[in-house]
């Protein structure tokens, strides 16, 4: 996700490559990213933090604490820290990096690859107007930034950051069901669904219409599609209740593990 943000920020022209330095655990991915985008591949996390006005933390949740503790001694007090790690709260960030800094949590979406989708933004204490303006400018350049309380992050992330995987999983299973009839090959089934999904998204976007309207337009009363929709309406509520329950439990377990670590 960090590499994607760098590519989109530089590709959109919102940040000049010369103004970005990045590091990675082995240095391989940061050097590869530097070759593609023109940014600087720094030799270490501390080298990045020492000169950073804004420090993006784009690592797995379990690695956030070690990165913040590693850079704490060199990061300037006026630096803004932006974390995109799930399950790592603003309180965690303050505890691990110290209260002198300002913090923002952002949950981006892979849809930003297409200058679309939602990035969730929650502000920590002490955020300055210029911090808010900068973060919103960056993420609105690659999609839509939605400001919300941190307490909403988990549920909202299921509808934004996680949803591309959920939607793709549903479409994969629909294609697989068609393949099981024995009358269509997997590549064609996936192609037909992919193109239909793209077109449906455009209808929802261009017509500013809702899901119910699309269903009504396609599933005419007494028709074939209506029968399929009835099956989905009967079975999917329990499925998605289960999805949200599973992700909630996983996030809680991750947060507890991070809090109890060390």
Using one digit for the tens of pLDDT, what is the confidence trace for 3-23? Answer: 999 999 999 999 999 999 999
**How large a percentage of the chain has pLDDT more than 90?**
90
pLDDT of residue 46: 95
pLDDT of residue 163: 97
Strands (E), 124-230: 144-147
Task: Domains for the chain: give ranges and CATH numbers.
Answer: 2-149 (3.40.50.720), 163-260 (1.10.3730.10)
Instruction: Tell me the per-residue pLDDT of 98-116, one tens digit each, with 9 for 90 and over.
Output: 888 999 999 999 999 999 9
How far apart are alpha carbons 153 and 61 in whole angstroms?
15
Instruction: Tell me the per-residue pLDDT of 151-182, one tens digit each, with 9 for 90 and over.
Output: 999 999 999 999 999 999 999 999 999 999 99
pLDDT of residue 260: 74
pLDDT of residue 262: 46
pLDDT of residue 201: 93
Give the SS3 label for residue 72: coil
User: What percent helix, strand, coil does the chain show, rounded to 5?
Assistant: 60, 10, 30
Q: What is the pTM of this model?
A: 0.91
Instruction: Tell me the per-residue pLDDT of 44-68, one tens digit each, with 9 for 90 and over.
Output: 999 999 999 999 999 999 999 999 9
Q: Is the pLDDT of residue 241 over 70?
A: yes
């Amino acid at each position: 996700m960090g590499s994607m943000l760098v590519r989109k920020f530089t590709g959109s022209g919102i940040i000049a490559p010369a103004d970005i330095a990045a590091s990675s655990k082995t240095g391989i991915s940061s050097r590869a990213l530097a070759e593609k985008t023109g940014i600087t591949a720094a030799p270490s996390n501390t080298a990045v933090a020492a000169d950073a006005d804004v420090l993006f933390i784009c690592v797995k949740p379990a690695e956030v604490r070690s990165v913040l503790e590693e850079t704490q001694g060199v990061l300037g007090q006026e630096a803004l820290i932006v974390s995109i790690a799930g399950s790592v709260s603003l309180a965690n960030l303050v505890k691990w990096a110290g209260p002198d800094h300002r913090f923002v949590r952002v949950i981006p979406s892979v849809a930003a690859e297409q200058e679309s989708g939602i990035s969730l933004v929650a502000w920590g204490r002490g955020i300055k107007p210029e911090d808010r303006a900068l973060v919103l400018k960056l993420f609105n350049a690659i999609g839509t930034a939605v400001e919300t309380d941190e307490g909403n992050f988990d549920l909202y992330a299921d509808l934004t950051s996680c949803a591309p995987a959920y939607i793709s999983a549903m479409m994969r299973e629909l294609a697989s069901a068609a393949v099981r009839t024995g009358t269509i090959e997997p590549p064609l089934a996936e192609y037909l669904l992919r193109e239909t999904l793209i077109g449906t998204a455009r209808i929802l976007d261009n017509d500013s219409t809702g899901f119910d309207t699309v269903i009504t337009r396609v599933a005419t009363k007494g028709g074939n599609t209506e029968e399929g929709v009835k099956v989905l309406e009967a079975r999917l509520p329990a499925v998605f209740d289960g999805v949200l329950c599973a992700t909630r439990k996983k996030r809680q377990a991750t947060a507890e593990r991070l809090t109890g670590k060390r």
